[in-house]
Amino acid sequence: MSTKIKVIAPAKINLTFELKGLFEDGYHRVSSLMQSISLADLLTFDIERNDSPGIELKAAKGKFTSEFPISPDNLIAKAIRLYLSSMEKPEPLKVKVEIEKNIPIGAGMAGGSGNAAAALLALNAYFEERADQGNALKAAPFSQDELLSMGSKLGVDVPFSFLGGTARAEGRGEILQALSLACDNQALPLHMVLAKPRHLHIATPWAFKKYDQFEDKLSLSEKLKDRGITDDATGFACQNLLAGDQEKAITAFGNDFEQAIFPDYRELKGIKQRFMNLGARVCHMTGSGPTIYAIARDTEHAVQLKEAFEESVLKETTISCAAKSDPVDLFVVQTLEHGVKILD
């Protein structure tokens, strides 16, 4: 008899992204404020003990399903294999996964990492249920720390996809410190519009290389000196979110990558400027791009920003009669307090 488990896997954005130099091995030292958002994939796992074990991936409905890569190298399949191989006595399982892909592919929002975290969570839930039924198990289910360790082997964003919510990331991005906001904290949720040029993908290694080659770099903290921020924009944002001061916190949002990437991708700078002209509170690129987020006052304002953006693009195209540029996918979202989560 098979067990069905549904998992929601939220996207992630970087509200701040600071590059703090290099480690001795050449990797970049990162400081970032990471945030789960309401744009999410939905994965349905059908798991059963079977003498003919295997993994079957199937793309279901979803805006970006057609672009979803179904292959043995998919992070979902890798996560399943890693989980089972980590058991003291691996069990022969047939795992079928149906993916509703709502997060754009290559958007820099940890869609693949969230899917991997969802797979680990689903398998752990399966073995937890079997343990509750009195089945003798060896080395499963795993603890949260063990799952986080597994996740780190699959990708730097997988552990955050487990924890979700709001967290500060340091080191290479693997050192996470969750921000525990009080129930009456007024700093969250944040409401925003995401903009992702449909056919634009930016390779993270290329982005780091461009940043290293970029002359006259000005760090995020240096740009914000006039606001009393000296050398830790991420820390300033965290401190004020914890204090419930949303207005102060968002003044520290930003991204060190923008100055190096925007000269090569002027459309991203144009998207940012358009949102600011339309009344966004702040607007920045997340991670190495290409997704841009624009902070709104509330849900209604976010919807207005999205509609105004669409109207302004349509008006420009109509007036100029120019060839259409790459379409931009827009999403109205808000922040979440959780990462991957099993649905009842």
53 is in an annotated binding site: no
Dihedral angle over CA of 106, 110, 113, 115, nearest 10: -80
d(CA 192, CA 195): 10
111 is in an annotated binding site: yes
276 is in an annotated binding site: no
21 is in an annotated binding site: no
106 is in an annotated binding site: yes
Nearest to 84 by CA among 31, 56, 126: 126
125 is in an annotated binding site: no
109 is in an annotated binding site: yes
165 is in an annotated binding site: no
Distance of CA 229 to the CA centre of its chain: 26
113 is in an annotated binding site: yes
Structure tokens at 36: 């789960």
d(CA 328, CA 16): 23
What is the secondary structure of 46-102 as a DSSP string? EEEE-SS-EEEEEE-SSTTGGG---STTSHHHHHHHHHHHTSSS---EEEEEEEE--
Residue 194: count of CB within 10 angstroms of its CB: 25
Q: Which residues are catalytic?
A: 12, 157
User: Residue ranges for the binding site?
Assistant: 104-114
Binding residues for ATP: 104-114
